[in-house]
Structure 1
Amino acid sequence: MSTELTPIEEARRDVVLGNHILAMEGVLDVFGHVSVRHPERPDRFFLSRSTSPAQVTDETLLEFDLDGKIVSGDGHPYLERFIHSEIYRARPDVGSVIHHHAPAVLPFAVTGVPLRPVFHMGAVAGEISPIWDSQDDFGDTSMLVFNQPMGASLAKCLGPHPTALLKRHGAICVGESVPRAVHVTVCMRDNAQLLMQSLAMGEVDYLSPGEVEKSAKVNGYGRPLERAWSHWVRRCG
């Protein structure tokens, strides 16, 4: 009997694994979430009901449309599902969206110090992470992205980039697949840690734009990505 997964089964498996991997890596804790675009319905995506990432299972997954409405499954959804729905609407190339509050990244969301690559793997997260400030369009809020206009504003700030910072809140990372988005997220966290340490020591030597472009292509796809994903899946056991 064949054990090969269907595209939908594979996508659902990967989004569960992505949550568990990022919880194991300490990028996600009680909060944060990972989604995956439906492989056969680009106008839909899978995202867990409201639960901590380490507790996500296939049974907790809900199916949403691009208005953030549940079309399949039961349970209370994340308030911030509009981060995912509006990025999928704006970016047809994106197959997975991650929202996190990694402690190493947060200083760059509250100081305005640019988050730029300082080592080769940092290039995977992009040349710079643009900063979205909810105050600009919405004034005082709960800081959560809880409706379509806020999600659309955030998606516009993200633009073509693989990452963006939410001022005084956290970050988003995207990729063509869950493994790619997870890789971007871990590399963003690692680069932020290294940059923060380097800034404390003195002048920082950032990667040039050309180095970012070439390093991201070499280290962010193909065998390096497969190697990283295999390692994380094995560690999750």
Structure 2
Amino acid sequence: MESREAMAREEIVWACQKLAAAGLIAASDGNVSCRLGRGVYLITPSGFPKAEVKPKDLLVIDTAGSVLSGNGKPSSEWRLHSLVYEKRADVGAVVHAHPALLTAMTLAGVPFSSEVFPEVWVAVGPVPTAPYAMPSTDEVPRSLLPFVENHHAVLLSRHGSLTMGRDVRQAYYRLEKMEHAARSLLAACVFGGRMPDSLSAVQLEQLARLFS
């Protein structure tokens, strides 16, 4: 196994363990991938509890979903990952999870307001919500198509979140930051009786300049 692939396997396992420990997934929910080369990437197996995934369990597939190495089936949401890698040359890893609060926001029809938090705006930017799509089908990438090219994260209605990054850790930490922000939004609504105001356009532009 090439050292690059070995490192990618370890990073995906790290993310799976973090996702499970943080309660961002349950049982076999979610999936993680990492680009290996043009049209080829590592992905978690289907129906496998993420807390138990080992480096040897990961599969190498192409963007058509064909297994190039490994045993078993790739995640049933491989189409989602393929869409990202085909549309975003700058993305090296994808995390799809089922974070409780972010998913609850989509159930309630409440948009995630990253514009409220300076650190979330800088690290993630705007986060749209894609319409509901039948899981594990071509509907999922179709629902994401309008968003993946211009965003680092997208919420999937009734179906969790998608975060992208230059590597596995950036994709994971973007999710962690978003779910933490969702807890703050919930607390603000409880304490204040409404969603907090967003930063102004001028303030967001200042942040963009400061942290560009």
Give the TM-score normalised by structure 1: 0.77
Structure 1: how far apart are the matches of 2:54 and 2:97?
19
Q: Mind listing any 5+ residue stretches in structure 1 that lack a counterpart?
A: 136-142, 222-237
Select which of 141, 145, 169 maps to 1:179: 169
- Relative to 1, partners in 2 of residues 1:105 and 1:150: Cα closer, same or farther, differing over 3 Å? closer
Structure 1: how far apart are the matches of 2:113 and 2:159?
18
Q: Which has the higher contact order (CA 8 A, sep 6+)?
A: 1
Structure 2: how far apart are the matches of 1:6 and 1:217?
37
Structure 1: how far apart are the matches of 2:175 and 2:104?
16
Structure 1: how far apart are the matches of 2:9 and 2:201?
35
1:165 and 2:138 correspond: no
Aligned twin of 2:34: 36
> How far off is 1:43 after superposition?
1.1
Structure 1: how far apart are the matches of 2:204 and 2:96?
23
Aligned twin of 2:102: 105
> How far off is 1:213 after superposition?
6.4
> How far off is 1:211 after superposition?
4.8
Aligned twin of 1:139: none
Structure 2: how far apart are the matches of 1:113 and 1:106?
10
1:54 and 2:46 correspond: no
Aligned twin of 2:128: 130
> How far off is 1:112 after superposition?
2.3
> How far off is 1:202 after superposition?
3.1
1:11 and 2:1 correspond: no
Instruction: State which drifts further: 5-14 or 72-81.
Output: 5-14
Would you say the 8 A contact 1:49–1:61 is kept in 2? yes
Aligned twin of 1:202: 193
Superposed CA deviations along residues 172-217 of structure 1, whole A, max 9, x for unmatched, are 1111100100110100110111112212323413234565566589
- Relative to 1, partners in 2 of residues 1:171 and 1:116: Cα closer, same or farther, differing over 3 Å? same
Report percent identity of matched pairs. 30
> How far off is 1:35 after superposition?
0.9
- Relative to 1, partners in 2 of residues 1:151 and 1:111: Cα closer, same or farther, differing over 3 Å? same
Structure 1: how far apart are the matches of 2:209 and 2:49?
32
> How far off is 1:126 after superposition?
3.0
Would you say the 8 A contact 1:82–1:151 is kept in 2? yes
> How far off is 1:93 after superposition?
1.0
Matching residue's letter, 1:160: N
CA RMSD of aligned residues (A): 2.4
Structure 2: how far apart are the matches of 1:54 and 1:216?
37
> How far off is 1:7 after superposition?
2.0
> How far off is 1:120 after superposition?
3.4
> How far off is 1:88 after superposition?
0.9
Matching residue's letter, 1:185: L
> How far off is 1:130 after superposition?
1.2
Select which of 57, 60, 64 maps to 1:67: 64
Would you say the 8 A contact 2:25–2:99 is kept in 1? yes
